[in-house]
Amino acid sequence: MLTRRIIPCLDVHRGQTVKGVQFMDLQPVGDPVQLGQLYAQQGADELAYLDISATVESRRAWEALIRRVARQLNIPFMVGGGVRAVDDVERMLRAGADKVSVNSAAVREPELVSRLSREFGSQCIVVAIDARKENGDWWVYTHGGRRRTAWRALDWAMEVTQRGAGEILLTSMNHDGSREGFAVEIVRRLAEALPIPVIASGGAGKKEHFLQLFRQGRADAALAASVFHFGHMRIDQLKHYLKENGIEVRL
Amino acid sequence: MKVAILKYNAGNIFSVQTALQRLGYVPVLTDEVQRLDKVDRVIFPGVGEARSAMAYLKQRGLDQWLRRTTKPVLGICLGLQLLCEYSEENDTPGLGIFPVSVRRFPPHGKVPHMGWNTIQRLKGRLFRGVPEASYVYFVHSFYPEWHALATAQTIYQVPFSAAMEQGNFFGVQFHPEKSGEVGEHILKNFLEL
Protein backbone atom coordinates (compact mmCIF):
# COMPACT_ATOMS: atom_id res chain seq x y z
CA MET A 1 0.00 0.00 0.00
CA LEU A 2 1.11 3.54 -0.71
CA THR A 3 2.41 5.03 2.52
CA ARG A 4 1.90 8.41 4.15
CA ARG A 5 5.11 10.40 4.03
CA ILE A 6 7.06 12.24 6.71
CA ILE A 7 9.06 15.14 5.30
CA PRO A 8 11.49 17.07 7.51
CA CYS A 9 12.03 20.61 6.28
CA LEU A 10 15.41 22.30 6.50
CA ASP A 11 15.50 26.08 6.35
CA VAL A 12 18.78 27.19 4.88
CA HIS A 13 20.33 30.59 5.44
CA ARG A 14 23.81 31.34 4.12
CA GLY A 15 24.64 27.67 3.71
CA GLN A 16 23.58 26.66 7.22
CA THR A 17 20.45 24.95 8.43
CA VAL A 18 18.79 27.37 10.81
CA LYS A 19 15.98 27.28 13.29
CA GLY A 20 14.09 30.21 14.59
CA VAL A 21 10.64 31.33 15.51
CA GLN A 22 8.79 33.22 12.78
CA PHE A 23 12.03 33.90 10.90
CA MET A 24 13.44 35.72 13.95
CA ASP A 25 16.33 34.77 16.13
CA LEU A 26 17.86 32.37 13.63
CA GLN A 27 20.32 29.92 15.09
CA PRO A 28 22.46 27.58 13.05
CA VAL A 29 21.73 23.91 13.64
CA GLY A 30 24.29 22.44 11.32
CA ASP A 31 25.30 21.46 7.84
CA PRO A 32 22.23 20.91 5.65
CA VAL A 33 23.70 17.88 3.94
CA GLN A 34 24.71 16.11 7.15
CA LEU A 35 21.41 16.86 8.82
CA GLY A 36 19.54 15.65 5.74
CA GLN A 37 21.48 12.39 5.81
CA LEU A 38 20.75 11.94 9.48
CA TYR A 39 17.03 12.37 8.80
CA ALA A 40 17.23 9.98 5.85
CA GLN A 41 18.86 7.38 8.11
CA GLN A 42 16.11 7.88 10.67
CA GLY A 43 13.53 7.07 8.00
CA ALA A 44 12.49 10.38 6.47
CA ASP A 45 10.60 9.63 3.26
CA GLU A 46 11.63 12.78 1.51
CA LEU A 47 13.34 16.04 2.47
CA ALA A 48 12.48 19.67 1.84
CA TYR A 49 15.16 22.35 1.62
CA LEU A 50 13.98 25.91 1.79
CA ASP A 51 16.25 28.81 0.87
CA ILE A 52 15.11 31.45 3.32
CA SER A 53 17.63 34.06 2.22
CA ALA A 54 16.78 33.57 -1.48
CA THR A 55 18.63 36.62 -2.72
CA VAL A 56 20.06 36.90 -6.18
CA GLU A 57 23.61 36.76 -4.77
CA SER A 58 22.96 33.55 -2.90
CA ARG A 59 21.75 31.68 -6.00
CA ARG A 60 25.06 30.07 -6.86
CA ALA A 61 25.69 28.87 -3.35
CA TRP A 62 22.17 27.50 -3.27
CA GLU A 63 22.67 25.51 -6.46
CA ALA A 64 25.99 24.20 -5.18
CA LEU A 65 24.20 23.06 -2.04
CA ILE A 66 21.51 21.30 -4.09
CA ARG A 67 24.24 19.46 -5.98
CA ARG A 68 25.85 18.33 -2.72
CA VAL A 69 22.52 17.12 -1.37
CA ALA A 70 21.79 15.25 -4.61
CA ARG A 71 25.13 13.49 -4.47
CA GLN A 72 24.72 12.33 -0.90
CA LEU A 73 21.05 11.56 -0.53
CA ASN A 74 19.41 8.33 -1.68
CA ILE A 75 15.84 9.54 -1.18
CA PRO A 76 13.89 12.27 -3.04
CA PHE A 77 14.03 15.90 -2.02
CA MET A 78 12.25 19.10 -2.92
CA VAL A 79 13.66 22.60 -2.85
CA GLY A 80 11.97 25.94 -2.60
CA GLY A 81 12.43 29.59 -1.93
CA GLY A 82 12.93 32.42 -4.39
CA VAL A 83 11.53 30.66 -7.43
CA ARG A 84 10.45 33.41 -9.83
CA ALA A 85 10.72 31.99 -13.33
CA VAL A 86 11.06 28.87 -15.46
CA ASP A 87 14.83 29.37 -15.44
CA ASP A 88 15.06 29.09 -11.66
CA VAL A 89 13.23 25.78 -11.71
CA GLU A 90 15.35 24.46 -14.54
CA ARG A 91 18.55 25.26 -12.68
CA MET A 92 17.36 23.61 -9.47
CA LEU A 93 16.23 20.47 -11.29
CA ARG A 94 19.48 20.35 -13.18
CA ALA A 95 21.38 20.66 -9.90
CA GLY A 96 19.60 17.46 -8.86
CA ALA A 97 16.43 18.42 -6.99
CA ASP A 98 13.56 16.01 -7.56
CA LYS A 99 10.86 18.61 -7.03
CA VAL A 100 10.68 22.38 -6.85
CA SER A 101 8.09 24.33 -4.92
CA VAL A 102 6.74 27.63 -6.12
CA ASN A 103 4.68 30.04 -4.04
CA SER A 104 4.37 33.82 -4.56
CA ALA A 105 5.43 33.73 -8.20
CA ALA A 106 2.57 31.36 -9.00
CA VAL A 107 0.03 33.73 -7.48
CA ARG A 108 1.51 36.66 -9.36
CA GLU A 109 1.49 34.68 -12.60
CA PRO A 110 -0.70 31.53 -12.52
CA GLU A 111 0.37 30.71 -16.07
CA LEU A 112 3.81 29.92 -14.62
CA VAL A 113 2.40 26.73 -13.09
CA SER A 114 1.09 25.62 -16.50
CA ARG A 115 4.41 26.36 -18.15
CA LEU A 116 6.41 24.56 -15.48
CA SER A 117 4.32 21.42 -15.57
CA ARG A 118 4.39 21.31 -19.38
CA GLU A 119 8.12 21.83 -19.44
CA PHE A 120 9.27 19.57 -16.61
CA GLY A 121 6.28 17.32 -15.84
CA SER A 122 3.71 17.68 -13.07
CA GLN A 123 5.54 15.25 -10.81
CA CYS A 124 8.25 17.77 -9.99
CA ILE A 125 6.12 20.88 -9.50
CA VAL A 126 4.86 21.53 -5.99
CA VAL A 127 2.71 24.56 -5.35
CA ALA A 128 3.21 25.87 -1.81
CA ILE A 129 0.21 27.66 -0.35
CA ASP A 130 0.40 29.75 2.81
CA ALA A 131 -3.12 30.16 4.15
CA ARG A 132 -4.66 31.97 7.07
CA LYS A 133 -8.15 31.54 8.47
CA GLU A 134 -10.03 34.78 8.87
CA ASN A 135 -13.73 35.08 9.65
CA GLY A 136 -14.33 31.47 8.75
CA ASP A 137 -12.56 31.55 5.38
CA TRP A 138 -9.07 30.39 4.46
CA TRP A 139 -7.17 33.05 2.48
CA VAL A 140 -3.98 32.63 0.49
CA TYR A 141 -1.04 34.81 1.54
CA THR A 142 2.22 35.42 -0.29
CA HIS A 143 5.63 36.98 0.36
CA GLY A 144 6.32 34.92 3.44
CA GLY A 145 2.87 35.58 4.80
CA ARG A 146 2.97 39.35 4.50
CA ARG A 147 0.52 39.88 1.64
CA ARG A 148 -3.04 38.73 1.51
CA THR A 149 -4.38 37.76 -1.92
CA ALA A 150 -7.92 37.57 -3.30
CA TRP A 151 -7.75 33.77 -3.47
CA ARG A 152 -9.47 31.37 -1.11
CA ALA A 153 -7.20 28.40 -0.37
CA LEU A 154 -9.43 25.74 -1.90
CA ASP A 155 -10.09 27.75 -5.07
CA TRP A 156 -6.41 28.46 -5.53
CA ALA A 157 -5.51 24.82 -4.94
CA MET A 158 -8.06 23.76 -7.59
CA GLU A 159 -6.76 26.38 -10.00
CA VAL A 160 -3.13 25.22 -9.77
CA THR A 161 -4.18 21.58 -9.90
CA GLN A 162 -5.91 22.26 -13.22
CA ARG A 163 -2.79 24.00 -14.38
CA GLY A 164 -0.76 20.86 -13.73
CA ALA A 165 0.67 21.16 -10.21
CA GLY A 166 1.85 17.74 -9.03
CA GLU A 167 1.39 18.32 -5.29
CA ILE A 168 0.12 20.96 -2.90
CA LEU A 169 2.11 21.96 0.16
CA LEU A 170 -0.36 23.69 2.47
CA THR A 171 0.96 25.69 5.41
CA SER A 172 -1.51 27.05 7.90
CA MET A 173 -0.22 30.38 9.18
CA ASN A 174 -2.60 30.11 12.12
CA HIS A 175 -0.95 26.89 13.20
CA ASP A 176 2.66 27.44 12.09
CA GLY A 177 4.94 27.65 15.10
CA SER A 178 2.13 26.91 17.57
CA ARG A 179 3.02 23.24 18.15
CA GLU A 180 -0.62 22.66 18.89
CA GLY A 181 -1.46 20.48 15.92
CA PHE A 182 -2.03 20.77 12.19
CA ALA A 183 -4.93 22.55 10.48
CA VAL A 184 -6.84 19.32 10.10
CA GLU A 185 -10.07 20.80 8.80
CA ILE A 186 -8.71 22.70 5.79
CA VAL A 187 -6.25 19.91 5.00
CA ARG A 188 -9.12 17.47 4.80
CA ARG A 189 -11.13 19.73 2.53
CA LEU A 190 -8.20 19.98 0.14
CA ALA A 191 -7.23 16.29 0.37
CA GLU A 192 -10.77 15.22 -0.46
CA ALA A 193 -11.33 17.73 -3.24
CA LEU A 194 -8.03 17.40 -5.09
CA PRO A 195 -6.84 14.60 -7.38
CA ILE A 196 -3.21 15.24 -6.34
CA PRO A 197 -1.34 14.67 -3.04
CA VAL A 198 -1.59 17.21 -0.24
CA ILE A 199 1.36 17.82 2.07
CA ALA A 200 0.36 19.57 5.30
CA SER A 201 2.66 21.85 7.23
CA GLY A 202 2.44 23.99 10.35
CA GLY A 203 1.64 23.10 13.91
CA ALA A 204 3.43 19.81 14.55
CA GLY A 205 4.23 19.49 18.25
CA LYS A 206 3.75 15.87 19.23
CA LYS A 207 3.15 12.45 17.69
CA GLU A 208 -0.60 12.60 18.21
CA HIS A 209 -0.76 15.60 15.88
CA PHE A 210 0.58 13.54 13.00
CA LEU A 211 -1.87 10.72 13.72
CA GLN A 212 -4.74 13.20 13.73
CA LEU A 213 -3.49 14.78 10.50
CA PHE A 214 -3.44 11.44 8.69
CA ARG A 215 -6.62 10.03 10.25
CA GLN A 216 -8.91 13.03 10.25
CA GLY A 217 -7.08 15.31 7.84
CA ARG A 218 -6.41 12.57 5.26
CA ALA A 219 -3.15 14.25 4.30
CA ASP A 220 -0.81 12.36 2.01
CA ALA A 221 2.26 13.73 3.76
CA ALA A 222 3.29 15.81 6.76
CA LEU A 223 6.06 18.37 6.70
CA ALA A 224 7.68 19.67 9.85
CA ALA A 225 10.86 21.40 10.88
CA SER A 226 11.34 22.40 14.48
CA VAL A 227 10.01 19.24 16.15
CA PHE A 228 12.77 17.34 14.41
CA HIS A 229 15.54 19.95 14.68
CA PHE A 230 15.03 20.61 18.37
CA GLY A 231 15.29 16.89 18.99
CA HIS A 232 11.81 16.64 20.50
CA MET A 233 10.91 13.86 18.17
CA ARG A 234 12.81 11.22 16.26
CA ILE A 235 11.43 10.31 12.85
CA ASP A 236 11.81 6.55 13.38
CA GLN A 237 9.93 6.72 16.69
CA LEU A 238 7.20 8.83 15.14
CA LYS A 239 6.77 6.33 12.31
CA HIS A 240 6.61 3.37 14.67
CA TYR A 241 3.92 5.16 16.63
CA LEU A 242 1.94 5.84 13.44
CA LYS A 243 2.28 2.23 12.32
CA GLU A 244 1.05 0.95 15.69
CA ASN A 245 -1.97 3.17 15.23
CA GLY A 246 -2.87 1.79 11.85
CA ILE A 247 -1.27 4.37 9.56
CA GLU A 248 0.66 2.88 6.66
CA VAL A 249 4.24 4.16 6.80
CA ARG A 250 7.59 2.95 5.51
CA LEU A 251 9.70 1.40 8.27
CA MET B 1 33.13 -2.77 -15.35
CA LYS B 2 31.87 -0.02 -17.62
CA VAL B 3 28.36 1.29 -17.17
CA ALA B 4 26.51 3.57 -19.55
CA ILE B 5 23.45 5.65 -18.80
CA LEU B 6 21.43 6.08 -21.93
CA LYS B 7 21.01 9.79 -22.24
CA TYR B 8 18.02 10.92 -24.24
CA ASN B 9 15.32 13.54 -24.11
CA ALA B 10 13.82 12.32 -20.86
CA GLY B 11 15.22 13.74 -17.63
CA ASN B 12 16.35 12.06 -14.44
CA ILE B 13 19.85 11.24 -15.66
CA PHE B 14 21.56 13.10 -12.85
CA SER B 15 20.05 11.15 -9.96
CA VAL B 16 20.88 7.82 -11.61
CA GLN B 17 24.40 9.07 -12.20
CA THR B 18 24.94 10.11 -8.59
CA ALA B 19 23.42 6.85 -7.33
CA LEU B 20 25.97 4.90 -9.38
CA GLN B 21 28.76 7.13 -8.13
CA ARG B 22 27.76 6.41 -4.55
CA LEU B 23 28.17 2.72 -5.42
CA GLY B 24 31.67 3.41 -6.75
CA TYR B 25 31.01 3.43 -10.51
CA VAL B 26 31.82 6.16 -12.98
CA PRO B 27 29.06 5.92 -15.57
CA VAL B 28 29.32 7.15 -19.14
CA LEU B 29 26.39 9.28 -20.31
CA THR B 30 25.74 8.75 -23.96
CA ASP B 31 23.21 8.41 -26.75
CA GLU B 32 25.74 7.06 -29.26
CA VAL B 33 25.52 3.47 -30.38
CA GLN B 34 29.30 3.23 -30.82
CA ARG B 35 29.88 4.10 -27.18
CA LEU B 36 27.15 1.78 -25.96
CA ASP B 37 28.93 -1.05 -27.80
CA LYS B 38 31.92 -0.59 -25.51
CA VAL B 39 30.24 -0.89 -22.12
CA ASP B 40 29.20 -3.86 -19.96
CA ARG B 41 25.92 -2.57 -18.54
CA VAL B 42 23.35 -0.13 -19.85
CA ILE B 43 20.89 1.78 -17.70
CA PHE B 44 17.90 3.14 -19.58
CA PRO B 45 16.27 5.70 -17.27
CA GLY B 46 13.62 8.25 -17.98
CA VAL B 47 10.96 10.51 -16.68
CA GLY B 48 8.99 12.04 -19.47
CA GLU B 49 6.48 11.35 -22.18
CA ALA B 50 6.52 8.05 -24.08
CA ARG B 51 5.89 9.14 -27.66
CA SER B 52 8.54 11.84 -27.92
CA ALA B 53 11.04 9.66 -26.04
CA MET B 54 10.47 6.83 -28.53
CA ALA B 55 10.81 9.20 -31.49
CA TYR B 56 14.19 10.32 -30.14
CA LEU B 57 15.38 6.74 -29.71
CA LYS B 58 14.43 5.95 -33.32
CA GLN B 59 16.07 9.03 -34.67
CA ARG B 60 19.33 7.95 -33.05
CA GLY B 61 19.06 4.27 -34.01
CA LEU B 62 18.89 3.42 -30.32
CA ASP B 63 15.67 1.41 -30.76
CA GLN B 64 17.48 -1.03 -33.07
CA TRP B 65 20.49 -1.17 -30.77
CA LEU B 66 18.30 -1.97 -27.76
CA ARG B 67 16.43 -4.73 -29.61
CA ARG B 68 19.69 -6.37 -30.73
CA THR B 69 21.90 -6.03 -27.69
CA THR B 70 22.92 -8.98 -25.55
CA LYS B 71 24.31 -6.74 -22.78
CA PRO B 72 22.38 -6.46 -19.54
CA VAL B 73 19.97 -3.51 -19.82
CA LEU B 74 18.01 -2.02 -16.92
CA GLY B 75 15.02 0.14 -17.82
CA ILE B 76 13.84 2.49 -15.08
CA CYS B 77 10.32 4.00 -15.03
CA LEU B 78 9.71 5.29 -18.59
CA GLY B 79 12.69 3.14 -19.63
CA LEU B 80 10.80 0.01 -18.54
CA GLN B 81 7.61 1.24 -20.21
CA LEU B 82 9.40 1.73 -23.53
CA LEU B 83 10.73 -1.84 -23.32
CA CYS B 84 7.11 -3.07 -23.22
CA GLU B 85 4.91 -3.76 -26.24
CA TYR B 86 2.68 -0.76 -26.22
CA SER B 87 1.83 2.28 -24.09
CA GLU B 88 -1.50 4.02 -23.79
CA GLU B 89 0.44 7.24 -23.33
CA ASN B 90 -0.20 8.95 -26.67
CA ASP B 91 -0.83 5.54 -28.25
CA THR B 92 2.86 4.63 -28.46
CA PRO B 93 4.25 1.32 -29.76
CA GLY B 94 7.17 0.14 -27.59
CA LEU B 95 10.25 -1.96 -28.23
CA GLY B 96 8.33 -5.16 -27.52
CA ILE B 97 10.88 -6.84 -25.26
CA PHE B 98 8.44 -7.42 -22.42
CA PRO B 99 5.12 -8.85 -23.63
CA VAL B 100 2.89 -6.43 -21.72
CA SER B 101 1.00 -3.24 -22.36
CA VAL B 102 1.32 -0.04 -20.36
CA ARG B 103 -1.97 1.42 -19.11
CA ARG B 104 -3.07 4.68 -17.55
CA PHE B 105 -4.22 4.54 -13.92
CA PRO B 106 -7.98 4.94 -13.64
CA PRO B 107 -8.85 8.55 -12.78
CA HIS B 108 -10.78 7.87 -9.56
CA GLY B 109 -7.66 7.78 -7.38
CA LYS B 110 -4.80 10.25 -7.05
CA VAL B 111 -2.54 10.24 -10.08
CA PRO B 112 0.44 10.13 -10.34
CA HIS B 113 1.11 7.23 -8.02
CA MET B 114 3.72 9.08 -6.02
CA GLY B 115 5.59 7.95 -2.94
CA TRP B 116 6.69 4.78 -1.18
CA ASN B 117 4.93 1.51 -1.84
CA THR B 118 5.79 -2.16 -1.33
CA ILE B 119 7.07 -4.69 -3.85
CA GLN B 120 6.02 -8.29 -3.38
CA ARG B 121 6.07 -11.69 -5.14
CA LEU B 122 9.75 -11.00 -5.69
CA LYS B 123 11.80 -13.27 -7.89
CA GLY B 124 14.69 -13.10 -10.31
CA ARG B 125 18.23 -11.81 -10.11
CA LEU B 126 17.47 -8.15 -9.37
CA PHE B 127 15.84 -9.01 -6.06
CA ARG B 128 18.40 -11.39 -4.59
CA GLY B 129 18.62 -10.60 -0.91
CA VAL B 130 15.76 -8.07 -1.06
CA PRO B 131 13.05 -8.90 1.51
CA GLU B 132 9.41 -9.31 0.42
CA ALA B 133 7.32 -6.18 0.91
CA SER B 134 10.32 -3.83 0.84
CA TYR B 135 9.45 -0.19 0.24
CA VAL B 136 10.56 1.58 -2.93
CA TYR B 137 9.83 5.02 -4.37
CA PHE B 138 7.41 5.48 -7.28
CA VAL B 139 6.38 8.43 -9.45
CA HIS B 140 4.26 7.49 -12.46
CA SER B 141 0.88 7.87 -14.12
CA PHE B 142 1.10 4.77 -16.36
CA TYR B 143 1.83 1.20 -15.30
CA PRO B 144 2.85 -2.07 -16.96
CA GLU B 145 -0.01 -4.57 -16.64
CA TRP B 146 0.36 -7.45 -14.27
CA HIS B 147 1.96 -10.43 -16.05
CA ALA B 148 3.22 -13.85 -15.02
CA LEU B 149 6.70 -12.82 -16.18
CA ALA B 150 6.84 -9.98 -13.68
CA THR B 151 9.50 -10.29 -11.00
CA ALA B 152 7.78 -7.90 -8.58
CA GLN B 153 4.22 -6.79 -7.99
CA THR B 154 2.89 -3.57 -6.54
CA ILE B 155 -0.71 -2.64 -5.89
CA TYR B 156 -2.00 0.87 -6.46
CA GLN B 157 -5.66 0.82 -7.44
CA VAL B 158 -4.75 -2.30 -9.44
CA PRO B 159 -1.96 -4.88 -9.14
CA PHE B 160 0.74 -4.13 -11.72
CA SER B 161 4.18 -5.35 -12.78
CA ALA B 162 6.67 -3.35 -10.71
CA ALA B 163 9.59 -5.20 -12.31
CA MET B 164 10.23 -7.47 -15.29
CA GLU B 165 13.08 -9.72 -16.39
CA GLN B 166 13.55 -11.46 -19.71
CA GLY B 167 16.98 -12.74 -20.80
CA ASN B 168 19.39 -9.82 -20.57
CA PHE B 169 16.60 -7.28 -20.08
CA PHE B 170 15.46 -5.94 -16.73
CA GLY B 171 13.01 -3.22 -15.92
CA VAL B 172 11.70 -1.53 -12.78
CA GLN B 173 8.76 0.86 -12.59
CA PHE B 174 10.05 2.43 -9.35
CA HIS B 175 13.17 4.55 -8.91
CA PRO B 176 15.96 2.48 -7.32
CA GLU B 177 18.16 5.59 -7.38
CA LYS B 178 15.73 7.25 -4.95
CA SER B 179 14.71 4.19 -2.93
CA GLY B 180 17.20 4.35 -0.07
CA GLU B 181 19.21 1.25 0.81
CA VAL B 182 16.76 -1.13 -0.84
CA GLY B 183 17.21 0.73 -4.12
CA GLU B 184 20.99 0.62 -3.79
CA HIS B 185 20.80 -3.11 -3.20
CA ILE B 186 18.76 -3.59 -6.41
CA LEU B 187 21.14 -1.45 -8.48
CA LYS B 188 24.06 -3.41 -7.07
CA ASN B 189 22.41 -6.68 -8.01
CA PHE B 190 22.11 -5.43 -11.58
CA LEU B 191 25.69 -4.19 -11.75
CA GLU B 192 27.08 -7.38 -10.21
CA LEU B 193 25.01 -9.86 -12.29
Report pLDDT for A22. 55
User: pLDDT digits over B98-137, tens only?
Assistant: 999 999 999 888 888 999 999 999 999 999 999 999 999 9
Report pLDDT for A177. 84
User: Is pLDDT at B13 greater than 60 in this prediction?
Assistant: yes
Distance from CA of A194 to the nearest CA of B (A): 8
Question: Number of structural domains, chain A?
Answer: 1
Report pLDDT for A54. 67
Report pLDDT for A230. 75
Looking at chain B, which residue has its C-alpha nearest residue A221?
B115
Report pLDDT for A16. 84
Q: Which residues of A fall within a CB distance of 8 Å from B115?
A: 2-3, 5, 45, 197, 220-221
Q: Which residues of A fall within a CB distance of 8 Å from B181?
A: 74
Q: What are phi and psi of B175, to 5 degrees?
A: -110, 95
- CATH number of the domain enclosing A166: 3.20.20.70
**CATH class held by domain B3-191:** alpha beta
Set A51, A88, A130, A176: catalytic member: A130
Of A5, A120, A194, the CB nearest to B115: A5
Report pLDDT for A231. 76
Distance from CA of A158 to the nearest CA of B (A): 14
Q: Which residues of B fall within a CB distance of 8 Å from A75?
A: 137, 178-180
Q: How many helices (H) and strands (E) does chain B have?
A: 6, 13
Q: Which residues of A fall within a CB distance of 8 Å from B11?
A: 93, 120-121
User: Is pLDDT at B48 greater than 90 in this prediction?
Assistant: no
User: pLDDT digits over B132-160, tens only?
Assistant: 999 999 999 999 999 988 999 999 999 99
Cβ distance of A196 and B117 shorter than 8 Å: no
Report pLDDT for B107. 82
Distance from CA of B110 to the nearest CA of A (A): 5
User: Is pLDDT at B10 greater than 70 in this prediction?
Assistant: no
A&B contacts, CB < 8 Å: 73
Digits of tens for pLDDT over chain A (251 positions)? 899 999 999 999 888 888 765 556 677 778 999 999 999 999 999 999 999 876 766 788 899 999 999 999 999 999 999 899 999 999 999 899 999 999 999 999 999 999 999 888 888 999 999 999 999 999 999 988 889 999 999 999 999 999 999 999 999 999 988 889 999 999 999 999 999 999 999 999 999 999 999 999 999 999 998 889 877 899 999 999 999 999 999 99
Report pLDDT for A63. 93
Q: Domain-by-domain residue ranges, chain B?
A: 3-191
Looking at chain A, which residue has its C-alpha nearest residue B183?
A74
How much of chain B, in percent, has pLDDT values that exceed 90? 85
Distance from CA of A251 to the nearest CA of B (A): 8
Report pLDDT for A15. 81
Report pLDDT for B11. 61
**Domain with A193 in it:** 5-244
CA dihedral angle for residue B40, residue B186, residue A95, residue A227, rounded to 10 degrees: -170
- Report the 3 state secondary structure along chain A: CCCCEEEEEEEEECCEEEEEECCEEEEEEECHHHHHHHHHHHCCCCEEEEECCCCCCCHHHHHHHHHHHHHHCCCCEEEECCCCCHHHHHHHHHCCCCEEEECHHHHHCCHHHHHHHHHHCHHHEEEEEEEEEECCEEEEEECCCCEEEEEEHHHHHHHHHHCCCCEEEEEECCCCCCCCCCCHHHHHHHHHHCCCCEEEECCCCCHHHHHHHHHCCCCCEEEECHHHHCCCCCHHHHHHHHHHCCCCCCC
Average pLDDT over residues B48-67: 92
Name the interface residues of B facing A (CB cutoff 8 Å). Answer: 11, 14-15, 18-19, 21-22, 47-48, 107, 110-118, 135, 137, 139, 155-156, 175, 177-181, 183-184
Report pLDDT for B35. 96
Structural domain contains residue A158: yes
